[in-house]
């Protein structure tokens, strides 16, 4: 759910998960989760449409292209992390035969630059004056969209912080675990011949 504030500020983007609206889709996600946990390519193939889309071009579809793009059998394959992220963030029911994930991609405002913004993915995230868990708190953010203000900073191997600016101009640092990028991999899941399958898995970030 997207909530627009007063003029000049940035909106809030609240998490949405409508998986439970369809029992058959819920059962599908359980099978998908099992395949992801075991990194089972054969099981994933059975849960994927023959014409699965992996990119913007006409030829970017089909299982062969999926394997080329996501490399599920390789140790460093990005597909398992991407799918685990979708499962964790939940699914939007676009209509009875189509689910989308994640909300942070599909509900992100079209008039904002996805490459320069982040979404606070929790309630009461501390915006700190410096990249440290002991730094003073400048603001407390809940599901806000913020502007990225630089590269993430790692502190002593314990935590990473990203500099951001709020819609009303407050600058500070958020723990990277508190934010999500609207450039996450995006999935579509459709009902085909009374069977749920993954019909698209795309990413603007290449091999994330």
Q: What is the pLDDT along the chain (208 residues), one digit of tens a residue?
A: 554 454 457 889 999 999 999 999 999 999 999 999 999 999 999 999 999 999 999 999 999 999 999 999 999 999 999 999 999 999 999 999 999 999 999 999 999 999 999 999 999 999 999 999 899 999 999 999 999 999 888 876 677 999 999 999 999 999 999 999 999 999 999 999 999 999 999 998 643 3
pLDDT of 69 reads 97
pLDDT of 50 reads 97
CA dihedral 64, 65, 68, 71 (to 10 degrees): -80
pLDDT of 176 reads 95
pLDDT of 6 reads 45
Domains of the chain and any CATH numbers? 15-108+185-202 (3.10.450), 117-180 (2.30.30.40)
pLDDT of 207 reads 39
Backbone angles phi, psi at 53, to 5 degrees: -95, 135
CA dihedral 131, 134, 136, 142 (to 10 degrees): 70
Instruction: Kindly list the distances between the CA atom of residue 29 and the CA atoms of 104, 169, 171, 193, in Å, as whole numbers in the listed order.
Output: 19, 40, 39, 17
pLDDT of 153 reads 87
- Of 187, 6, 208, 20, the C-alpha closest to 98 is 187
């Amino acid at each position: 759910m997207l909530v627009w504030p007063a003029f000049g500020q940035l909106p809030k983007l609240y998490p949405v998960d409508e998986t439970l609206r369809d029992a058959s889709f819920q059962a599908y996600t359980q099978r998908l989760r099992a395949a992801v946990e075991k990194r089972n390519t054969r099981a994933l193939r059975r849960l994927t449409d023959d014409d699965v889309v992996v990119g913007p071009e006409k030829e970017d579809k089909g299982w062969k292209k999926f394997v080329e793009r996501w490399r599920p059998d390789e140790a460093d394959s990005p597909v398992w992390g991407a799918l685990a992220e979708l499962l964790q963030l939940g699914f939007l029911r676009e209509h009875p035969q189509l689910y989308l994930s994640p909300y942070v991609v599909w509900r992100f405002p079209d008039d904002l630059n996805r490459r320069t913004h982040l979404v606070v993915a929790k309630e009461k995230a501390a915006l700190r004056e410096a990249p440290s868990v002991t730094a003073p708190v400048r603001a407390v953010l809940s599901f806000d969209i913020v502007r990225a203000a630089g590269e993430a900073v790692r502190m002593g191997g314990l935590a990473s912080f990203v500099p951001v600016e709020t819609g009303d101009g407050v600058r500070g640092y958020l723990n990277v675990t508190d934010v999500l990028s609207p450039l996450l991999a995006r999935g579509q899941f459709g009902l085909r011949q009374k069977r749920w399958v993954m019909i698209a898995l795309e990413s603007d970030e290449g091999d994330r």
